[in-house]
Chain A
Amino acid sequence: MSEIHFNINGKEVTCRRDEMLLDVALRHGIDIPAPCHHFALPEDYGACRLCLVEIEEERWTGVDAACTYPVREKCIAVRTDTEEVRRYRQLNLQLLLARCPESESVRDLARSMDVEASRFPGIQRQNSDCILCGLCVNVCENLIGAGAIGFVGRGAERRVAAPFDEPASQCIGCGACAEVCPTNAIKTIETEDERTIKPFSPPLKLVKCPECGKGCMTEKQLEFMKTQLGNKSDVLAGCPACKVRRRAQEFAAVLRGKE
C-alpha cells in the first residue's frame, strides 16, 4: 500500500492510502470532536458532522467530515481550526443541543466548544438523550452480530428502536450498545437475577457463575456465544472475575511447583 504525505495544521503527516482522515489526525494528537466515532468499530458512519475540517485538494477546497474522508494523493493540506470550521461545528452542536437539552455529555461537549446554549428551539420528539450517532446500531449489527436494534422513522422523527417498537426479541443483553453510547442514552440495569437494556430489551434472565453465584451474563448471551464458539464454548464457564481468579491460582500453583 502506498503512503500518502500531507499536512494537518502545517504539520507534516504520513498515512496509508485510504486511511480515514480522522484516524490520522487523532493518531497525531490533533483534537477533533467526534462523538459518533468509536475505536472499536471498523467503519465510521458520518452522522454527527462535528468532526468537520477544511480540506485542501488539488482542485477543490472545502469543509467535510474527517471520519469518512479517505486520504488519497490529491489531499494536500488539512486545517482543523479555521473560523468557518469552528462556526459550522458550533452550529451543528447547537442543533444537537436543541434535540437533547438535558444531556450532560452534550452539554459538556458544548462547553468544550464554547457553546453556551442553543439558539434554536427544542425539537424534542422522543424525550431522550440520543443524538442519533448510530454507534449502538452499528455495534449490535456489525460487531456483536445480533442486529437487534435499528433506526426507524425519517427526518427529525428518526430514532433507534427494535423492530415494530416492541421489546427487542433479538437482543441478547450483552450491553455493548450501552457501552459505546456517547450520551448514556442506553442503560444496563441489573438486579440479582435479571438484566435489562433500557430502553430496548425485556428483562433477561442472568446465568449464575458456578463459583461465586453472581449473575455474569444473560442466558440468551450464553446461547448466542455458544453457537458462535461451537466446541470451544467451555471457555465461557464462570464469570470474568472468577475466571481471572482461577487463572491466577493455576499460575500460582505452577510457580509453586517450580520452587
Chain B
Amino acid sequence: MPLCMTREKIGSPEALNSLAGRLKERAGGRKMVSVCLGTGCRAEGSGEVYEAIREAVGELGLEDEVIVMGSGCHGLCALGPLVILTPDDIFYPKVSPEDATEIIEKSVIGSQPVDRLLYKTGGKTCRCQSEVPFYGRQERIVLGLNGIVDPHMIEDYIREGGYQSLAEVLYKYPPEDVVSEISASGLRGRGGGGFPTGRKWESCRAVETEDGKFVICNADEGDPGAFMDRSIMEANPHTVIEGMVIGAYAVGAEEGYIYIRKEYPLALNTLQCALEQARDYGLLGHDILGSGRDFEINVARGGGAFVCGESTALTASIEGRVGEPGAKHIHTTESGLWGRPTVLNNVETWANVPEIIKRGSRWFASIGSEGSKGTKVFSLVGAIKNTGLIEVPMGITLREIIEDIGGGMAGNHGFKAVQTGGPSGGCIPADHLDMKVDFDSLIEVGSMMGSGGMIVMDESSCMVDVARYFLDFLRTESCGKCTPCRDGTEQMFMILDRICRGKAGEDELGKLEEIAELVRETSLCKLGSSAPNPVLSTLRFFRDEYEAHIRDKKCPAGVCSALIEFSIDQEKCVCCGRCANECPVDCIAGTAGKPPAKASEEDHQEGKVGEPFLIDVQECVKCGSCFDVCPTDAVEKK
C-alpha cells in the first residue's frame, strides 16, 4: 500500500479511533487482491503469482485503484496458490502467474468471476470463500483477519479495529476486571495443557512483588509438521502483541518475551517488523496510548529442541542456561523467569485475548463445548482431500472435520485412525469419529489436544509402525536428564522396533506396558510423562495389530517390510515385464510377451507368447517398486 505516513505516537483512545477512521476512509472503494504468501502456497509458487498480479496492475496503470496484498495463510493449503478479491468476494484456488491479467481485467475491473478458475466440488461451482465446504464449517476468531490484513502493515490491523481492546482495557478496566473477563470467557491454554488462562493470570496478578513480573509468549512450536502458531505470527502478528500487552497490564508486568523457534526466520522477521511499528505508534514501550503504563517485548530465539517448549526448559533457555526441564512444584506464576512471577502462554492463547475483550466473555463462552470454549486452530494433514490450516469451534466432531472440512479420504483406502496432539498424542479409531473434539474428550480416549496437530491415516497405515515412528522422535528429543524418559523411551522404542521386525517374543507386550506405565508415572517433565501415549493409545484400540506382528509375524497393513512378502498372481500377470524393469535387485524373472491365456496358435508359432513373472523372495528387498508399477495389480503384498 503506497501509504506515505509517518508513524507518530498515538496519545489516547480517541486518537486511535480517528486514525482507524481515516484508514478506513482511505481504503474504502479500493479493490483488493489478496495473494496468500503462507508457507503452503509459497511452496506452490504463490510468490510468482503475487509478482505477476502486481505487474499486471502496473501495466494497466491501476496502482491507485487496486491494492495487491501478500497475506498470511488462508488455510486451504492443498489448493494453493490462493487468491481472494475484495470487495467482490471472489475466491480462486490454484492460480498460476499466467492467470494474472485475466483476473485483473475481468474480475477486478469488471467484477465478474473467471469461471474456469473458480473452485468446483461435487458438481457445484463456488464463487466465494464461504461457499467452499472447507471454509463452511469453520469459525474464524484467531484466523479471522488472515487474508484481510497485510502482516507488515500495522495500519491494516488498526483499520480493522486492532488495538481498540487494549485502549478499552487501559482506560476503562482495572487489572482485576480484565482477569475476571478472561476467566469468565473460559479460555484455556492452546499450547497443549489446556490450563484455564484466567486462573493462571489471577495467580500471577495476586503475587505482590517489587521486583517485576514477566509475560512470555511460547512460540517454540516444536511438534513436527505443525504450523498453527507460525501461521498466526506470519499472518497477523499484532493480535499476539496486543494480547500480550493486555495480559501484561492485567497481571502487572512491564517486560515480556516472545520465545520463537529457531527455524522460523519469516515469522521472526514479521514479528520484529510488527513490534517496531507498534513501538512507533506508542502501542508498546513507554507510556502506552498515553496511559502512563510501560511494557516492552523482547524476542528470544529458541534453543532448537522440542523440549525447549516445556515451560521450565523455556525459561532456563531465556535466562541463558541449558534448555532443560527442572522439577516444577512451585508454579511459574509464583517463580518463573529469573525467579519472578511469570505468565507463560501459547501464541494462539494470546491471539484470542483481544477478540474476547472486544466481543465480551459471554460471546466467547457461547462458542464451544461444556469445558472447552472458543475455537481451536488445527493443522489438518494426512490421507484426506483438503489439507490445510483450519479453525473450528470446540466440540465439533471428528467426523465433521474429516468429512465436511477435509473433504473425506483422498485415496482409495478407507479411514483407519486420526492422530491428534502432536508426537505424544494418541490415535483415535473409526468408532470414535462422532466424539467431540475438545480438551476433555480427547484425554478420555487416551489422546490429547496438544497444540493442534491432526493427522488422518487410512488403512495403509500400520499402527505399530506409527507408534514406533513417534517413539523414535520422542526418544531422540528426550533431553536425557531423567532415567525413565531417557532409557525407558529407548527401551520402548527397541521393543517396538523388534515387533515391527517380527523379532519380538510373546512376553514383550507386557514389558512394553510395564515400562510405559513407569515412564508416564515417574518422569521429571511432561515430555516423559506423555511419551507413552502413542503406544498406549494404539495398544488400546489396535491391540490385535500388535498381536498379529508378534504371534503370526504378519503386518496386516502391509507396511513393516520384514513381515511382508511380495508375490505375483500368475493368473493376473499380463507378462508386460514392467516389474522386472523396475526391480532394483533384478530378482524378478519371466518373459515379456502375450499372456499365455490370451495367446493364439499363431502367437505361439511366432514365439510371441510370454511367461508370467515370478519374484525370488530370497533376493527381494521389499522396496515395493513392482507393486507400484504393475498395471493389473498382479503383485500381491502379504
Contacts and interface: CB of A to CB of B under 8 A. Distances in A.
Interface of A: 45-50, 52, 62-63, 65, 68-70, 88, 91-92, 95-96, 98-99, 119-121, 123, 131-132, 134, 150-151, 153-158
B76 to A, nearest CB: 36
25 contacts: A46-B481, A47-B482, A47-B524, A48-B482, A48-B483, A62-B521, A63-B522, A65-B327, A65-B522, A68-B524, A88-B522, A92-B483, A95-B487, A96-B487, A98-B491, A119-B511, A131-B483, A132-B480, A134-B481, A155-B486, A155-B490, A156-B478, A156-B486, A156-B487, A157-B476
Given A98-B487, A156-B490, 14 more contacts: A46-B481, A46-B482, A49-B523, A52-B522, A65-B522, A68-B524, A91-B484, A92-B522, A121-B491, A123-B490, A132-B481, A132-B486, A154-B305, A155-B479
Given A49-B524, A119-B511, A150-B322, A91 B486 contact: no
Contact of A156 (B305, B480, B524): B480
A121 B475 CA distance: 16
A48 B494 CA distance: 21
A70 B329 contact: yes
B464 to A, nearest CB: 19
B328 to A, nearest CB: 9
A85 B487 CA distance: 19
Given A88-B518, A151-B322, A95 B488 contact: yes
Contacts of B483: 47-50, 92, 95-96, 131-132
Given A46-B327, A69-B327, A91-B518, A155 B489 contact: yes
A92 B491 contact: no
A62 B520 CA distance: 12
A52 B483 CA distance: 12
Contacts of A157: 476, 480
B625 to A, nearest CB: 34
Nearest to A97: B487
Contacts of B490: 123, 155-156
B480 A154 contact: yes
A92 B330 CA distance: 25
Q: What 8 pairs between A and B have smallest CB-CB spacing?
A: A158-B480, A68-B327, A95-B487, A156-B490, A155-B478, A91-B518, A49-B483, A92-B483
A47 B477 CA distance: 16
B515 interface: yes
A59 B556 CA distance: 45
B326 interface: yes
Interface of chain B, main secondary structure: helix
B65 interface: no
A155 B484 contact: no
A49, A52, A63, most chain B CB atoms within 10 A: A49
A76 B515 CA distance: 29
B603 interface: no
Contact of B491 (A65, A68, A123): A123
B544 interface: no
Contacts of B489: 155
B514 interface: yes
B478 A154 contact: yes
A156 B494 CA distance: 12
Contacts of A88: 518, 521-522
B486 A158 contact: yes
A163 B550 CA distance: 44
A49 B490 CA distance: 16
Contact of B494 (A45, A121, A150): A121
Contacts of B326: 46, 68
Contacts of A151: 322, 480-481
Contact of B477 (A48, A131, A154): A154
Nearest to A123: B490
A156 B485 CA distance: 9
A69 B327 CA distance: 8
A98 B482 CA distance: 15
A121 B487 CA distance: 11
Interface in B450-491: 475-484, 486-491
Interface in B326-372: 326-327, 329-330
A67 B483 CA distance: 14
B522 A155 contact: no
A99 B329 contact: no
A121 B495 CA distance: 10
A69 B490 CA distance: 26
B484 A49 contact: yes
Interface in B494-526: 494, 511, 514-515, 518, 521-524
A94 B486 CA distance: 13
Contacts of B480: 132, 151, 153-158
Contacts of A98: 487, 491
A98, A121, A155, most chain B CB atoms within 10 A: A155
B518 A68 contact: no
A24 B633 CA distance: 71
Contacts of B482: 46-49
A68 B511 contact: no
B479, B482, B488, B489, most chain A CB atoms within 10 A: B482
Given A88-B522, A151-B322, A120 B491 contact: yes
A92 B484 contact: yes
B484 A156 contact: no
Contacts of A121: 491, 494
Contact of A69 (B329, B476, B484, B518): B329
Contacts of B478: 154-156
Nearest to B327: A68
Contacts of B477: 154-155
A52 B482 CA distance: 12
Nearest to B479: A154
Nearest to A85: B522
Interface in B308-338: 322, 326-327, 329-330
